[in-house]
Chains A and B, each alone.
Chain A
Amino acid sequence: MSSDQTPPAVNDVSTQEARMGEGTDDRFNSTLREAFGSTPFILTKFDQFMNWVRGSSMFMLQFGIACCSIEMISTYAIKHDLDRFGAGIPRASPRQADVIVIPGTIVSKFAPRMKRVYDQMPEPKFVISMGSCTISGGPFQEGYNVVKGAEEIIPVDIHVPGCPPRPEALVYGVAKLQERIANGESSPVTVKPYELEQFGDLNQDELVQHLADEIDEDELVMRYNWEDSP
């Protein structure tokens, strides 16, 4: 501060005005300070603060499955630039990520691996399902090999419909997720019919007995009861 300015009279003005008023170095007059009022302290619940932080800095998992991932890449890339929304640059390892976008059709061979990747992400974690395939199986719903939506495997926070959704739609989905996180809303409870479980724990029916020579008791398996799929 330059020396030729008279310091404001203490009694006339509030502390906030004193800090923000004329004559002071206005480089410090941020909107944040304006919002905080007289003190540089915020009083909030720690949870709320953490939620706000979480929503504003999301680490996405670099995870591509099918056609939707091309539009997902476009969303990350130059024109739509998801980074502007604090949704970061994709991380290659699930251990460094807290949001997973599921961009594409999930088939029987891939579902156990996807579950594994999801399990490897640290808590708290969030899931955006992108495209009709992850909602219901999409155009491939009637396929013999297609899992009818991501929610059959893992819980999903936000569904972005479309085939494929436009990048704008994905950005909207991400923004909505941020809003949810900031509000501390937890992910919906979902029915997960397909779990990874040990082969020995399955009900002993015809199929299990048939496969008993091929699969060890303690091997992890996923059992698909297509009959019960929506």
Chain B
Amino acid sequence: MSIEKPSSPTEIGVTDDGLDYDALAELLGGHVLDRESHVNAEGFVIRPDEVQEVLSTLKTEAGFDHCACVTAQEYDDRYESIYHLRKYDDPTQELSIVVPSPKDDPHNQSAARVYDTADWHEREAYDLVGIDYDDHPDLRRILLPDTWQGHPLSQDYDQSQPQIVTLRENANPLQEDRRSEDDPDTMFVNIGPHHPATHGVLHVKTVLDGEQVADIDPDIGYLHRCEEQMCEHGTYRHQIMPYPDRWDYSGAGIINEWAYARAAEDLVGIDVPEYAQVIRTMSAELCRITGHMLALGTFALDVFGDFTAVFQYAFRDREVVQSILEDLTGQRLMFNYLRLGGVAWDLPEPREEFFEKTRDFLDDLPYKLEEYHDLITGNEIFQMRCVDTGILTPEQAKAHGATGPVARASGVDYDLRRDDPYGYYDELDWNVVTESGCDNFSRVLVRMREVEESARIIEQCVDLLEQWPEDDREIQANVPRTLRPDPDKEIYRAVEGAKGELGIYIRSDGTDKPARFKIRSPCFSNLQTLPELAQGEYIPDMVASLGSLDIILGEVDR
């Protein structure tokens, strides 16, 4: 079938039926203090001062090249950081590295020297939970303002204490850096947090040397609305589901819901009926199209600089999908359509009308895409702007944990829909799109081609749904009214969001609410690649690169 992937050379611990954790433990020898079993993988407990050693062994010798996420949390007697490792070649091979650190002085060695992506993850852990990472290149707050007091996800945080936030001028970090004799200084430019090119409230501290970017530092947290805290305060069954819609709000809500649904269903062991899986698959792909259309429209806005044709066309087509989704879910943007164990309701009656509307959209799509190709990818000016600017090599992409279209445009063949199958994807015929250009142009192209693949998936789903026997349309598994997973179960599960690997870590404590809910946001990791893309580029190309990363600040900041 087309979605098979070429097999990779065997690495330590790889067997035909999954990872052999004993072999991995043997590789690490005495470093492994204890072994835990999480639902998705085993967790090896290691000493806080051996993080770098252990992780670099695993990276170089066992092939764990993808540090998907770092989860930090506080227990009654200790702090803990978990590094969720997996492989770009086969994300089902997972391993968690659990690093406990003492309650009174929480600190452990940083992993940022092994995985570049750990840099931001650890800053977030420091910011929200309060763990210090020794040997971290730049440990400061990332989401909350510098002057914030306390660490809000730690146990003794008092939410009602007052806080003071400054509005200060940003200093040029390269002020002293005399570039050359006749061109002595650099210029500092603030881009954002209110700026049309940042797609929301991102602040990019940019230092220019002439017209080229000499230093760049994305400053995030202007939309940090405590999503993790909100989810920890909600009950599994119903109260959490509305929040995922608001992470990646580009219209990709159902995929986000699926990320939570998948993690929670696997945590408590719910099997979703096949019919519901088909509906989920179809609606998720509709969402992906909405998300990609937004990316395309706003990218055109960034590059062409005005609300002109491409932008308007993209929104015209988004409207069509939004209206299909509205028929299905009742909302245009915040769908809240999935439920644990299935979906909220069946397709709208009359079904024929719904199918016809969806088919009409799919029939028109090729012409519309052709039009986009004429306007965008075939446009010479656009090509001059985007080809060979904002280069992200596959190695850089992997090091920063980039996923989704950003990684696939750099030739990293990683798509969880195929590699870690869920839903109905493995029964359908479609392809993973990759490009090898590594530049802004490829990233746009990948999204446009993915829209085609999504359309193929939707078409097959519509056919399936149409023929589905009427007495077998089960939309919801039998799920107890209150879910109380057994205490101390841990899981990390991800789905392929519109922007990449959207993962959820949940730890249960026996109550009906999660004890820790961590969101691995693809945009957060993708944004980390911005300095690689923009260093040395002209400033307009930096703006194009930022646009091509397609970040949604709601998901970056959570």
Contacts and interface: CB of A to CB of B under 8 A. Distances in A.
Contacts of B159: 144, 226
B311 A77 contact: yes
A67 B333 contact: yes
A139 B227 CA distance: 10
Contacts of A196: 167
Q: Identify the interface centre among B200, B223, B334: most chain A CB within 10 Å of its CB.
A: B223
B329 to A, nearest CB: 14
A65 B223 contact: yes
A69 B246 CA distance: 12
Interface in A139-166: 139-140, 142-146, 163-164, 166
B226 A145 contact: yes
Given A113-B194, A140-B225, A144-B157, A74 B167 contact: no
Interface string B150-191: 001000010111111111100000000000000000000000
A225 B162 contact: yes
Contacts of A142: 226, 229-230, 233
Nearest to A73: B315
Contact of A113 (B167, B307, B316): B167
B123 interface: no
A195 to B, nearest CB: 11
A224 B222 contact: no
B251 interface: yes
A66 B223 contact: yes
Contacts of B478: none
B372 to A, nearest CB: 15
A18 interface: no
A113 B193 CA distance: 8
Q: Identify the interface centre among B157, B159, B294: most chain A CB within 10 Å of its CB.
A: B159
Given A107-B223, A207-B164, A70 B246 contact: no
Given A66-B200, A67-B334, A109-B221, A207 B312 contact: no
A73 to B, nearest CB: 7
Given A69-B200, A78-B316, A142-B230, A220 B167 contact: yes
Interface size range of chain B in the complex: 35 or more
A166 B312 CA distance: 18
B288 to A, nearest CB: 15
B224 interface: yes
A166 B137 CA distance: 45
A54 B251 CA distance: 34
Interface in B347-376: none
Interface in A58-88: 62-67, 69-71, 73-74, 76-79
B147 A215 contact: yes
A163 B307 CA distance: 25
A199 B242 CA distance: 39
Given A105-B225, A146-B225, A139 B230 contact: yes
A172 B201 CA distance: 26
A175 interface: no
B230 A89 contact: no
A68 to B, nearest CB: 9
B489 interface: no
Q: Identify the interface centre among B147, B148, B201: most chain A CB within 10 Å of its CB.
A: B201
Interface string A200-227: 0010000110110011000111111111
Contacts of A110: 193, 201, 222-223
A225 B159 CA distance: 10
Given A109-B221, A211-B164, 17 more contacts: A62-B196, A67-B249, A77-B316, A78-B312, A78-B319, A90-B307, A109-B145, A110-B223, A139-B242, A139-B243, A210-B149, A215-B166, A220-B167, A221-B147, A222-B164, A227-B160, A227-B162
Interface of B: 144-149, 152, 157, 159-168, 193-196, 199-201, 221-227, 229-230, 233, 242-243, 245-246, 249-251, 294, 307, 311-313, 315-316, 318-319, 322, 332-334, 553-554
26 contacts: A64-B200, A66-B201, A67-B249, A67-B554, A70-B333, A71-B333, A73-B315, A76-B307, A79-B316, A79-B319, A92-B195, A104-B223, A105-B223, A109-B221, A110-B222, A117-B194, A139-B246, A142-B226, A142-B229, A142-B233, A145-B144, A163-B334, A164-B333, A222-B167, A223-B164, A226-B161
